[in-house]
């Protein structure tokens, strides 16, 4: 039986980071500007610590300044808001990311609202979400941007294709749908209350799975030849008793039916940080009134 093309997000992200590093070096030389990314981590969640460390390392590898701010779980909302206010005022900081989730006693929406719109490299601020909805040039959330890059790399123009987005989060599902609409796809957002998820998927040329349910999307949910982007990262215990990372798509059955598919790990995951660096570069240029460079991944 035919098997799908495996979309190598790890390689694409490495080439994108290399291209970003070239642009950062140019900015330093031509404008004495070093993009700066501040990452705020509250508490000691292990997965968050790993993400934050990787963000810092990759920002520095791209030639950017990386500022880490670690705050204890016991930090008050007022203290965290004061930290964000300081970063908003700091001219060396062009991008601010507050790692989610936050402890329960802190209102995450209020924290996101406090980040300066121009420095909101996560694209989570309601003003940036609004700009995306009306087609303006704001900051767009990193994971959906990464998914779109992989899709365009695989398919070229997306106009007229049917896309189904599984999941309606503010971080992935909703901005993903808005981006696909901007590319002239016919977009359906499906979610936990959708009556027949499998049938919605079967109609789609593009399936984006972002629901957080391990291996939910099966091969027989897919239209033959569909392009499948798996945003899920789920840790499961496999039948052999070992821990394993799997996506929201049942890879082994989907790979038999899809035309192209992202693996987990090594698909969408590495694209998220690469796109965060891209947003930081964009934010730095805009804040200094410098034209935003067109960044194309380095050659394969």
Angle at 187 between CA 9 and CA 10, to 5 degrees: 5
Residue 171, annotated as binding a ligand: no
Are the CB atoms for 140 and 123 separated by under 8 Å? yes
CA atoms within 13 A on the CB side of 215: 12
Helix ranges restricted to H, the chain = 9-31, 46-61, 77-89, 108-114, 126-134, 142-155, 173-182, 197-202, 251-254, 269-288
Question: Which residue's CB is nearer to ligand GUN, number 111 or number 246?
Answer: 111
Decide whether 125 or 223 has the Cβ nearer to ligand GUN: 125
In sequence order, which residues have a C-beta less than 8 Å from that of residue 289 and are 6 or more positions away?
Answer: none
CB of residue 261 to ligand GUN, shortest distance in Å: 22
Name the residue nearer to ligand GUN (CB basis): 45 or 61.
Answer: 45
Residue 112 assigned as binding residue: no
Shortest distance, position 73 Cβ to ligand GUN, whole Å: 16
| Catalytic residue list contains 55 | yes
Site for ligand GUN in 133-172 (CB under 6 A): 142
**Residue 129 engages ligand GUN in binding (rule: CB under 6 A):** no
Which of 58, 83, 120, 122 is an active site residue? 122
Structure tokens at 6: 């495996």
Instruction: Choose the catalytic residue: 23, 55, 205, 248.
Output: 55
In the range 89-108, which residues lie near ligand GUN by CB under 6 A? 97-100
For residue 233, the SS3 value is coil
122 counts as binding ligand GUN under rule CB under 6 A: yes
Q: 167 a known binding residue?
A: yes
Size of residue set near ligand GUN by CB under 6 A = 7
Pairing of strands 243-246, 234-237: antiparallel
Considering 23, 58, 99, 154, which one is annotated as catalytic?
99
Note whether 279 binds ligand GUN by CB under 6 A: no
Give the C-alpha separation, 84 to 116, whole Å.
9
In the chain, what is the greatest distance between 2 CA atoms, to the nearest angstrom? 59
44-52: list long-range contacts, CB under 8 Å, 24+ apart: 44/73, 45/101, 48/99, 48/101, 51/99, 52/99
Our answer to whether residue 99 is catalytic in this structure is yes
Query: Which residue, 98 or 190, is less far from ligand GUN as judged by CB?
Result: 98
Q: Which is nearer to ligand GUN, 83 or 223 (CB)?
A: 83
Question: Using CB under 6 A, which residues numbered 216 to 255 contact ligand GUN?
Answer: none
3-state secondary structure at position 126: helix
Is 256 annotated in the active site?
no
**Residues making contact with ligand GUN (CB under 6 A):** 97-100, 122, 142, 272
**Catalytic positions:** 55, 99, 122
Annotated binding site: 167-169, 233
Annotated binding site for NADP(+): 167-169, 233
């Amino acid at each position: 039986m035919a098997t799908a093309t495996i979309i190598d997000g790890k390689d694409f992200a490495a080439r994108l980071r290399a291209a970003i590093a070239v642009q950062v070096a140019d900015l330093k030389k031509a404008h004495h500007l070093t993009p700066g990314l501040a990452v705020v981590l509250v508490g000691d969640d292990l997965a968050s610590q790993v993400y934050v460390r990787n963000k810092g390392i990759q920002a520095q590898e791209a030639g950017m300044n990386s500022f880490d701010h670690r705050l204890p779980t016991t930090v008050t909302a007022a203290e965290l808001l004061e930290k964000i206010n300081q970063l908003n005022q700091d001219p060396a900081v062009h991008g601010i990311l507050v790692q989610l989730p936050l402890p329960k006693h802190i209102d995450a929406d209020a924290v996101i609202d406090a980040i300066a719109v121009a420095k909101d490299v996560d694209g989570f601020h309601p003003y940036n979400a609004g700009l995306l909805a009306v087609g303006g040039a704001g900051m767009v959330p990193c994971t959906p941007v990464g998914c779109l890059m992989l899709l365009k790399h695989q398919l070229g123009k997306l106009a007229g294709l049917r896309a189904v987005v599984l999941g309606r989060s503010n971080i992935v599902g909703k901005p993903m749908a808005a981006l696909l609409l901007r590319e002239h796809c016919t977009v359906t957002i499906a979610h936990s209350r959708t009556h027949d998820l499998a049938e919605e998927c079967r109609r789609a040329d593009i399936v984006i799975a972002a629901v957080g349910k391990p291996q939910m999307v099966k091969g027989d949910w897919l239209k033959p030849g569909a392009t499948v982007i798996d945003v899920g990262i789920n840790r499961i215990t496999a039948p052999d008793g070992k821990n394993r990372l799997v996506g929201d798509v049942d890879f082994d059955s989907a790979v038999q039916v899809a035309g192209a598919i992202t693996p987990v790990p090594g698909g969408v995951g590495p694209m998220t940080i690469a796109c965060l660096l891209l947003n930081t570069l964009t934010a730095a240029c805009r804040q200094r009134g410098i034209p935003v460079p067109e960044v194309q991944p380095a050659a394969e």
